[in-house]
Amino acid sequence: MPRDFLAGARDQYDVVVIGSGLGGMTAANILGRLGYRVLLLEQHYKLGGLATWFRRPGGNIFDISLHGFPYGMVKSCRRYWNEEIANGIVPLRTIRYDNPMFSLTTRFDRDDFTRLLTTRFGQPPEKVQEFFEFIRKMNFYDDQTMTVKELFDRFFPGREDIIRLLMEPITYANGSTLEDPAVAYGIVFSNFMAKGVYTYRGGTDDLIQRMKEELLKNGVDVRVRCPVERIHIVRRKVAGVTVHGRYLAARAVVSNANLLATILRFAGPEHFDKDFIEEVKAVRLNNSSTQVYIALKQGDLLDESIGDLLFSSTAPYFRTEALLSRNITSRTFSFYYPSLRPHAPPRCYVVSSTNARYEDWANLSEEEYRKSKQELINSTLDALEKYVPDIRQRVAHVEAATPRTFERYTGHLAGASFGTKFEGLRVSRALPHQVEGLFHAGSVGIIMSGWLGAMNYGVIVANEVDNYLACPSLTVRKG
């Protein structure tokens, strides 16, 4: 008999959360703490969404999206999770760039960038100060017409090298481009500049295990292998969900799944205003990624001076097109040293990440796909050779992930790594005004993506759900 992944579940909850990414889990945890009856449904066999990991024979363990996040994670984890999780967050010390325009090492914080911009890139200190102040004051409600390119043209006209310094890591971090609103770039970049780049000591497996324990402690009913098939809406009000053919009633539903899938697939366009659906259909998905996971042989320990994060490129200039191209010229290498998992046998890993277009991978035949993955692995090892000599002899395990892999494991349309482009934020925020009790807390609009963005969006939405459940009539439908 097939296993019943909903065994013992109630028929009715205050809140059903669809998806256990950092946004979904954080929303569930806050609402559980507040005493609501919360059900967290995850389609995959483990929690975490893109904040995940996988194991391979020989004791190898790979992190997928643990490359770096801003210091703000400490505060968010302390407040909305617990002290132990917050205490696991540690700084990355060495961020490197290596490209035809410059090679340098930085702490990736405001002090160090001020030093670089004034000494190495020859900018007047007042100009640099003015730039930092300008972006620091940007907020979500600002004018969104200025693009990132216009921002750079205003402060550093004609300086392609400075644009590369300021933009390349953020493009890797959330897929943003020079054509995106400057406000989105400004908020994310300022978050990093506040105190540099951080990681979680213990690895993603440890983090997600601790989060699961905290969810259970707070009374959240956590279920994996539970793909939500339908969100039920009756007269523009959420009623419940169907999962494994079983109807579960809920006063509120928070979807952490892809925004477009939530509206068009799980809820259905017929439950929304026509012009809203037009707006939904115009929302662009963010790009996807490829990754190559490399484990070094046991006992082969890299010198930590190689750095934690290395933005490596052979492209003469920074161009979004070049970053997305199948002809890869730019890669971010994350180096993982034994200190990341102090309790595991000492091992070193390198993960190479590249932004990628779903279309370039989606329609390949199985044979072309396998061949393309192998080419990706080969070209990555070639590029890594410069930093880790004799890499081919030193590898214990290597494999690749593509946009198809990300789509398969998270259900994200087109394997989007960072949800949607900026316009998705407006749609996500408008959801409860279209359908009472329906909320979305997942990667959208650059700002609300990445570990910190997704987690903080979960917090914002949990507060809105709390307000709604306390007084449903306060969420008035617009239009």
Ligand X SMILES: Cc1cc2nc3c(=O)[nH]c(=O)nc-3n(C[C@H](O)[C@H](O)[C@H](O)COP(=O)(O)OP(=O)(O)OC[C@H]3O[C@@H](n4cnc5c(N)ncnc54)[C@H](O)[C@@H]3O)c2cc1C
32, 68, 186, 437: which one contacts ligand X (CB under 6 A)? 68
Question: If binding is defined by CB under 6 A, does position 203 make contact with ligand X?
Answer: no
Residues 425 and 444: beta-carbon distance below 8 Å: yes
3-state secondary structure of 319: coil
Residues 329 and 352: beta-carbon distance below 8 Å: no
The one segment of 18-26, 134-142, 152-160, 246-254 that binds ligand X by CB under 6 A? 18-26
The backbone torsions φ and ψ at residue 414, rounded to the nearest 5 degrees and listed phi first, read 55, 25
- Give counts: helices (H), strands (E), the chain: 18, 19
Could you tell me the CA-to-CA distances from 375 to 195, 379, 422, 447 in Å, in that order? 38, 6, 33, 33
Site string for ligand X, 320-359 (x = CB under 6 A): ---------------------------------x------
**Joined tokens for residue 472:** 């449903």
Whichever of 38 and 454 has its CB closer to ligand X, that residue is 454
In the complex, the smallest distance separating the C-beta of residue 367 from ligand X, rounded to whole angstroms, is 25
Whichever of 432 and 458 has its CB closer to ligand X, that residue is 458
In the complex, the smallest distance separating the C-beta of residue 316 from ligand X, rounded to whole angstroms, is 26
- CB neighbourhood size of 245 (10 A): 7
Whichever of 45 and 479 has its CB closer to ligand X, that residue is 45
- CB neighbourhood size of 360 (10 A): 16
- Residue 390's contacts (CB-CB under 8 Å, 6 or more residues apart) are none
Whichever of 153 and 399 has its CB closer to ligand X, that residue is 399
In the complex, the smallest distance separating the C-beta of residue 332 from ligand X, rounded to whole angstroms, is 9
**What residues from 221 to 240 belong to the interface with ligand X (CB under 6 A)?**
227-228
In the complex, the smallest distance separating the C-beta of residue 155 from ligand X, rounded to whole angstroms, is 25
Could you tell me the CA-to-CA distances from 367 to 91, 311, 370 in Å, in that order? 42, 31, 5
The one segment of 40-48, 128-136, 360-368, 471-479 that binds ligand X by CB under 6 A? 40-48
CA 403 to CA 358: how far, in whole Å? 5
CA 178 to CA 212: how far, in whole Å? 38
Question: If binding is defined by CB under 6 A, does position 454 make contact with ligand X?
Answer: yes
Question: If binding is defined by CB under 6 A, does position 450 make contact with ligand X?
Answer: yes
Q: Which residue has the tokens 């307000």?
A: 467
In the complex, the smallest distance separating the C-beta of residue 22 from ligand X, rounded to whole angstroms, is 5
Question: If binding is defined by CB under 6 A, does position 428 make contact with ligand X?
Answer: no
Beta partners for residue 403, in sequence order: none
Whichever of 162 and 196 has its CB closer to ligand X, that residue is 196
CA 9 to CA 6: how far, in whole Å? 5
**Joined tokens for residue 370:** 């396998």
Identity at 412, one-letter amino acid code: H
* SS3 per-residue string spanning 348-412: CEEEEEEEECCHHHHCCCHHHHHHHHHHHHHHHHHHHHCCCCCHHHHEEEEEEECHHHHHHHHCC
The one segment of 96-104, 152-160, 231-239, 403-411 that binds ligand X by CB under 6 A? 403-411
**What residues from 240 to 259 belong to the interface with ligand X (CB under 6 A)?**
256-257
Whichever of 20 and 313 has its CB closer to ligand X, that residue is 20
6, 9, 16, 21: which one contacts ligand X (CB under 6 A)? 21
CA 281 to CA 266: how far, in whole Å? 15
Question: If binding is defined by CB under 6 A, does position 411 make contact with ligand X?
Answer: yes
Question: If binding is defined by CB under 6 A, does position 438 make contact with ligand X?
Answer: no
**Joined tokens for residue 378:** 């080969």
In the complex, the smallest distance separating the C-beta of residue 69 from ligand X, rounded to whole angstroms, is 4
Question: If binding is defined by CB under 6 A, does position 443 make contact with ligand X?
Answer: yes
3-state secondary structure of 440: strand
The one segment of 131-139, 276-284, 387-395, 416-424 that binds ligand X by CB under 6 A? 416-424
291, 313, 320, 355: which one contacts ligand X (CB under 6 A)? 291
Question: If binding is defined by CB under 6 A, does position 449 make contact with ligand X?
Answer: yes
Question: If binding is defined by CB under 6 A, does position 42 make contact with ligand X?
Answer: yes
Whichever of 81 and 131 has its CB closer to ligand X, that residue is 81
In the complex, the smallest distance separating the C-beta of residue 145 from ligand X, rounded to whole angstroms, is 26
DSSP result, 52-81: -EEEETTTEEEESS-S-EETHHHHHHHHHS
14, 15, 30, 44: which one contacts ligand X (CB under 6 A)? 44
Whichever of 151 and 170 has its CB closer to ligand X, that residue is 170
Residues at the contact surface with ligand X, assessed by CB under 6 A: 18-24, 41-44, 49-51, 64-65, 67-69, 227-228, 256-257, 289, 291, 353, 406, 410-412, 417-419, 442-443, 449-451, 454
